Homo-oligomer: A and B are copies of this chain.
Amino acid sequence: MPFGVGVIGVGTVGGGVVETLLRNREAISARAGLDICLTHVAETDLGRLEEFDLDGVTVSTDASALIADPNVNVVVELIGGLGAAKTFILEALAAKKSVVTANKMLLAHCGPELTRAAGDSGVELHYEAAVAGAIPFIKALREGLVANEIGSVYGILNGTCNYILSQMTYKGLEFDDALAQAVELGFAERPPDLDIEGHDTAHKCQIIASLCYSTPISLDDIHVEGVTRVKRVDVIYARELGYLIKLLAIIRQVDGAVEARVHPTLVPETHLLASVRNEFNAIYVQSDIADVTMYYGRGAGRMPTASAVIADVVDVARRGDFPPMPAFVYTQTLPIRGMDMLEGRYYLRVSTQDRPGALGRICGVLGEHEINIASCFQRESTESDLVHVVLITHKTAETAGRVAVDEIDQLGFVQGATQMLRVL
């Protein structure tokens, strides 16, 4: 009796899963040690199925028929979004069928509810593909690092943002041109807002933080800044100072509280994360027993995402009757550490009129707030008659930095808002 796979939604990723299961069935089954077989697909747009040879596979336009099919042992949800996807997942779990999904938005919003439903039915909910695409990171975190307490996680989790920042860094593009290129190459969602405003990264940040610390974290607990505020000059200045700018999800446990945030970050150029270019994703983990580990690969795309989905399918198949492993099981409720608790180093770019005493006054304001300057230079702007004062501070409280920047912005010779970015 083969282990039957039902796929709901044959779009980009669903198509990759169907194609791979049909083409590599023999090899996958040999490696898994049991026969893994596509038995059913559900898709409302039948035109999408024309490219596949679905001989012997049941085809439905109704996902409920797939869920009820006794030849379906695992339900793969790949329609995405918060509506029908949730209905079908809950329906499948209620029918005591394990579910595999790549739906990060749904997990970030409703992870606990879905996991409770899985637990009540004694089945599993797997979501390797929801975080960092092809990279087997959820598996590494849950299983490979099972002996570890996680200290911190730094993730490059959105390929579009990393592509844009890489093009600004290595090709000297302005943000808008880099974004246009990402859209053209198909990396960016259309519209790209979820990507570039950081919300897609926040969804993954929520999933990882929940897993790392087994504590409830809502999306509202995560401070989110996207990459739209990063200018080409910041990328250039950062590089001169020995840093690259990356959009990072940062998850840490500090003094028994959980910190989860998403924002552009200056990463030292010798740090391995700085070498992660273009549309690639990577997750850098510090933990107590293994020390540092990093995982790298494609975070999106038809086939890379399918690779992760099928790994989940095989895991479900190989579980047999063994009780499920805890997923979003909240064994504790840790306090959330807000941004007002943050301490760190900061990159500041002040745009000022070129007049005597300006640099001294700016540095003076920082000094009045006990903010120590690690490095500093002034450059003539190529675009105006203003000059840029660029600073990296020593460690300071974020709140003190904010107050100082507000004061600086009120100086008569300062033009526009000062750019303030966090340094890793």
Residues of A within 8 A of B (CB): 16, 20, 24, 27-28, 30-34, 128, 134-136, 139-140, 142-149, 214, 270, 272, 274-277, 280, 287-298, 301, 303-304, 306-308, 310-311, 314-315, 318-326, 331
| Nearest-neighbor residue (CB-CB) of A323 within chain B | B33
A146 to B29, CA, bound (A): 9
Report which of B20, B288, B319 forms a contact with A322, defined as CB distance below 8 A. Answer: B319
4 other A-B residue contacts (CB within 8 Å) besides A27-B149, A289-B310:
A31-B146, A134-B291, A139-B140, A289-B306
Q: Which residues on B sit within 8 Å (CB–CB) of A277? A: 270
Q: Is the interface of A mostly helix, strand, loop or mixed?
A: mixed
Q: Which residues on B sit within 8 Å (CB–CB) of A31? A: 142, 146, 325-326
Minimal beta-carbon separation of A300 from chain B (angstroms): 11
Counting every copy of the chain, the complex holds: 2
Q: Which residues on B sit within 8 Å (CB–CB) of A297? A: 290-294
Given A139-B139, A289-B304, A293-B134, residue A32 in contact with residue B325 (CB < 8 A): yes
- Asked whether A143 lies within 8 Å of B314 as measured between CB atoms, the reply is yes
A262 to B30, CA, bound (A): 29
- Asked whether B272 lies within 8 Å of A30 as measured between CB atoms, the reply is no
Report which of B142, B290, B303, B320 forms a contact with A320, defined as CB distance below 8 A. Answer: B320
Minimal beta-carbon separation of A246 from chain B (angstroms): 14
- Asked whether B325 lies within 8 Å of A303 as measured between CB atoms, the reply is no
A377 to B388, CA, bound (A): 42
Report which of B33, B147, B293 forms a contact with A325, defined as CB distance below 8 A. Answer: B33
- Asked whether A296 lies within 8 Å of B298 as measured between CB atoms, the reply is no
- Asked whether B290 lies within 8 Å of A304 as measured between CB atoms, the reply is yes
Given A24-B149, A326-B30, residue A291 in contact with residue B318 (CB < 8 A): no
A320 to B295, CA, bound (A): 29
A128 to B143, CA, bound (A): 12
Minimal beta-carbon separation of A268 from chain B (angstroms): 12
Q: Which residues on B sit within 8 Å (CB–CB) of A290? A: 134, 297-298, 303-304, 307-308
- Asked whether A298 lies within 8 Å of B303 as measured between CB atoms, the reply is no
- Asked whether A324 lies within 8 Å of B27 as measured between CB atoms, the reply is no
A196 to B93, CA, bound (A): 54
Q: Which residues on B sit within 8 Å (CB–CB) of A318? A: 322, 325
| Nearest-neighbor residue (CB-CB) of A134 within chain B | B290
- Asked whether B27 lies within 8 Å of A311 as measured between CB atoms, the reply is no
Given A290-B297, A292-B297, residue A143 in contact with residue B134 (CB < 8 A): no
Q: Can you list 15 pairs linking A and B with CB atoms under 8 Å apart?
A: A33-B324, A128-B144, A135-B144, A136-B140, A139-B139, A139-B143, A146-B311, A289-B304, A292-B297, A292-B298, A294-B294, A295-B295, A318-B325, A320-B322, A322-B322
